Amino acid sequence: MKQFEQSELLKSLPKQFFASLVGKVGKVMAQGHDVINLGQGNPDQPTPSHIVETLQKASANPMHHKYSPFRGHKFLKDAVATFYKREYGVDVDPEKEVAILFGGKGGLVEIPQCLLNPGDTVLVPDPGYPDYWSGVELAKAKMEVMPLTAENHFLPVYEEVSERAKEQAKLMFLNYPNNPTGAVATAEFFEDTVAFAAKHDICVVHDFAYGAIGFDGKKPISFLQTPGAKETGIEIYTLSKTYNMAGWRVGFAVGNESVVEAINLLQDHMYVSLFGAVQEAAAAALLESQQCVNDLVKRYESRRNTFIQGLREIGWDVTSPAGSFFAWLKVPKGYTSEQFSDLLLEKAHVVVAPGVGFGIYGEGYVRVGLLTDEERMREAVSRIKKLNLFKKRIDNPF
């Protein structure tokens, strides 16, 4: 069959690092091994029943069998505004400051195309979510990385951004609670962010995908809670993690009116909004009881405690994440992140994601998803222990 050549645009997209990991895992599983996969970011719990039931009922409504309004149903945008007021004390204009998205990823990839011209500069966290890179490449823009290091609690240091990058940057991505590090932002950091962005005329895009998932009694804060935040950018929220709705592909952007309009304009040319029944279910998720969210956070925190304590007991000196459902673990001396992840897969049949897949500053770490039950996590620790890579500590408080 004739093979048509791909466009230069497709050829220029970043290589999908984790595709090779999936291939490696598939080979080990094909050999009949029991593999514990902690390398993915796919929620393992079902969508709460009241959300599913809302979809089931709404899907029978003939109104939803027609095209939805181009920019989403008013009832969902009103629900977003109610959600932000209730959860964060932030007032949102549902018509001018909310854009309905086909999942958070869609908005993150779209935003560079909405605001940038070829050659423009984007500030990107490193390590960070790889799909930021995809959106930058589609816009033919340039990336300037902001290192996230343990020494600064995995927050970028704006004073270390070069003067050239400060003056040329038009867009900046942030993400707290953070994927992959599990770090959280402080109010002071967001205040610094607003001041930095205002001074250099940079639009901030805060990826709030893990906004509901904070531990030790501390709720993650919204960027929009910061005075002046709406003047400097937007926040992108997805229902994928908070409500276990990853496969439903629904999220929203909230904040600066001009940015929301730009997103809506691009989407006017690409979609005719989401299936109305999905929008109705999303509104139910945002407006009805949040007990399911509270229970989910408790589940992740319990898994975190079990896993981190187990690793410390076998002598692995690890840091406990403050948020998200990821743990960011320093690899033993003598290994690269990819070598160590290969070793765990081949010898322990435990899958972790090598940190270098999230950027050059991810080297020396692996990412673990807290996305399987505690029994399997204990089993993963037991398998890692048998490799005798760590010297067990006598005094090992959690």
Distance CA 236, CA 252 (A): 6
* 314 neighbors 381 (Cβ within 8 angstroms): yes
- What DSSP assignment string belongs to 191-245? HHHHHHHHHHT-EEEEE-TTTT-B-TT-PPPPGGGSTTHHHHEEEEEEHHHHTT-
**DSSP state at residue 348:** I
Task: Name the stretches of the chain with pLDDT < 70.
Answer: 392-398
Task: Kindly report, residue by residue over 102-138, the tens digit of the pLDDT.
Answer: 999 999 999 999 999 999 999 999 999 999 999 999 9
- Which pLDDT belongs to residue 398? 37
Task: Give the CA distances from residue 171 to residues 147, 181, 289, in Å, rounded to whole numbers and listed in that order.
Answer: 16, 22, 36
Helix axes 257-268, 103-115, angle to 10 degrees: 100
Distance CA 329, CA 352 (A): 10
- Which pLDDT belongs to residue 378? 96
Residue 351 three-state SS: strand
- What DSSP assignment string belongs to 70-131? TT--HHHHHHHHHHHHHHH-----TTTSEEEESHHHHHHHHHHHHH--TT-EEEEEES--TH
The tokens describing 20, both together, are 């090779």
Containing 300, the helix (H) or strand (E) segment is helix 291-313
- Which pLDDT belongs to residue 21? 80
Residue 214: phi and psi, rounded to 5, are -130, 150
User: Can you state the percent helix, strand and coil of the chain, rounding each to 5?
Assistant: 45, 15, 40
- Which pLDDT belongs to residue 241? 96
- Which pLDDT belongs to residue 342? 93
* 126 neighbors 145 (Cβ within 8 angstroms): yes
* Beta sheet of 142-147, edge-to-edge order: 98-101, 251-255, 233-238, 203-207, 169-175, 121-126, 142-147
The end-to-end CA distance of the chain, in Å, is 60
Rg value, the chain, Cα? 21
Task: Answer positive or negative: Cα dihedral of 243, 248, 249, 254.
Answer: negative
The tokens describing 153, both together, are 């609690």
Q: Where do we find the tokens 């904040």? A: 255
Residue 135 three-state SS: helix
The tokens describing 319, both together, are 């840091």
